Chains A and B, each alone.
Chain A
């Protein structure tokens, strides 16, 4: 697997090795998932509902425990250090942050308060004001809604706010969970355009989980396809797009021509 990584020169940021995860000790969701991400890479994880994509993200971000899940075997390494089973607040401080779907904004807090909450774990509070401006640069729609309660935003705006709030933590590794969920095709396009822009400007490493295979393959450097808690396919987006299997499963019918 290591041989397939594009740039051998950049160091490994995240290594997931033979990860097994179960909920409530009985519901086994991951059966030995392995992946490695180099610094600055953009990796997409595709797969159908229930394939274990979100569970994979949660086991990296430290959100597994609060849902009754646990790693039963395997490990998660961050820059070579074992962080298997670490709490979310520890992972945030290490620069690993999961952006949950838009409905996880704080509905009764204003857009600005939501963004500020994103910086909760940071100790350098003097630059927060500046960071809010920087983040709003990516989401101009949110500027005029700063004092509005997040619950009044549209689905697309909430999704943008969720991503912006995540950026406020100044992560090194951003874990994006289904940013296209529940959005119209036009909005999906816009969100993905912004994600690409963020990646270029911020020099982030991104692990994206997405059902919308077409969009994900368009932005990622490399992609994995998960099936029933295992990695079924892995490769460059261009190769995966050609793969007959993926065509059938996620891109709507066999490829013609």
Chain B
């Protein structure tokens, strides 16, 4: 038993080392990528951050939301308004945007105290509808149907107009988010999340405060979404409210389910899958000599099919396959 836990520990240390290498590698590579490659990498990283937030809520605390794109929108327009209209510096704007999204998230999280399962899904559906309706109406904030421009900020004296520089800001927030995620799971609150997900009644009897635990899950989760939304706004520069539609919310949920519920790796792998699969399918279509217009409906179909296949054959998500692979390789090498 001791030997096994030693082995387990070294696999864990290996994972940590791998994560550091990955971050450094991605950070360096981002400075040399082409424009379109960098664009993909930026979207993947922002979605990974939003995915972490949703995974805390859904994967760890067991509360489903199909309104997370709307919470990203709250963060996006809050940051834009604070920074561009009110002149608040960029970093405080991002954190405040997260805070505003968390406040809105708390409000829409209240029904979770009474509702669960499909009923909670319906409650978050209405949150999405209400927030999106607000985006449409609040032209002073969002530009309504026309969208709005958001100028990229100067952070700590560095002009982030250049995409590769802006990416480093995105990466920094994603790393902070990842470290916070991993640490939160080790705290008392992290254990309360798991207990509430597994069996709320048993959690209650162990002394878990269900109200505080669920509200914390919503607040932290929507804070992540808000920060991711703020980063998305500056990445896009021209922000249309469609970037925060119900479709995107459902994509985010698909992201955490396919990536792996309740794990950090799941959020990252899920983001890779969600962003890259359509791109790869487009590339494939081009190779086959199809026109982009012809490909669009087929692409959606194949994408949907891939999701179903994943759920059937790897219900614990890509994170599980990834762990199997790395553990296998590690044991092979360490022999």
User: A residues within 8 Å of B by Cβ?
Assistant: 61, 63, 66, 88-89, 92-93, 97-98, 100, 104-109, 113, 116-118, 120-121, 165, 169
- Interface contact B204-A118, CB-CB below 8 Å: no
Whether B118 sits at the interface, judged by CB under 8 Å, is no
Also in contact, A93 and B207, with CB within 8 A (given A104-B202, A105-B202): yes
Whether B199 sits at the interface, judged by CB under 8 Å, is yes
Chain B 170-191 near chain A by CB (<8 Å), digits 1 or 0? 0000000000000000001001
Q: How many A-B contacts if CB must be within 8 Å?
A: 64
Chain B 193-224 near chain A by CB (<8 Å), digits 1 or 0? 01101111111111111100000000000000
CB distance from A91 to the nearest CB of B (A): 9
Question: A233–B210 Cα gap in the complex (Å)?
Answer: 38
CB distance from B186 to the nearest CB of A (A): 12
Sample of 17 A–B contacts (CB below 8 Å): A61-B205, A63-B205, A66-B201, A66-B204, A88-B205, A92-B205, A92-B206, A92-B207, A106-B198, A108-B194, A108-B198, A109-B195, A109-B198, A120-B207, A121-B207, A169-B206, A169-B207
Whether B253 sits at the interface, judged by CB under 8 Å, is no
Question: A92–B205 Cα gap in the complex (Å)?
Answer: 8
Question: A98–B207 Cα gap in the complex (Å)?
Answer: 11
Also in contact, A118 and B199, with CB within 8 A (given A106-B194, A109-B194): no
- Interface contact B199-A120, CB-CB below 8 Å: no
Cβ of A113: which chain B residues have Cβ within 8 Å of it?
191, 194
A63-B201, A89-B208, A120-B195 given. 20 additional CB < 8 A pairs?
Answer: A63-B205, A66-B204, A88-B207, A100-B201, A104-B201, A104-B202, A104-B205, A105-B202, A106-B198, A106-B202, A107-B198, A107-B199, A108-B198, A117-B194, A118-B206, A120-B207, A121-B206, A121-B207, A165-B206, A169-B207
- Interface contact B206-A100, CB-CB below 8 Å: no
Cβ of A105: which chain B residues have Cβ within 8 Å of it?
199, 202
Closest A-chain residue to B202, C-beta based? A104
Question: A113–B186 Cα gap in the complex (Å)?
Answer: 12
Cβ of B188: which chain A residues have Cβ within 8 Å of it?
120
What is the interface of chain B mostly: helix, strand, loop, or mixed? helix
Cβ of B206: which chain A residues have Cβ within 8 Å of it?
92, 117-118, 120-121, 165, 169
Question: A120–B204 Cα gap in the complex (Å)?
Answer: 10
Question: A65–B208 Cα gap in the complex (Å)?
Answer: 15
CB contacts under 8 Å to A, within B17-41, are none
CB contacts under 8 Å to A, within B201-254, are 201-210
Whether B271 sits at the interface, judged by CB under 8 Å, is no
Question: A165–B207 Cα gap in the complex (Å)?
Answer: 12
Cβ of A66: which chain B residues have Cβ within 8 Å of it?
200-201, 204, 210
Whether B102 sits at the interface, judged by CB under 8 Å, is no
- Interface contact A106-B207, CB-CB below 8 Å: no
Question: A169–B192 Cα gap in the complex (Å)?
Answer: 15
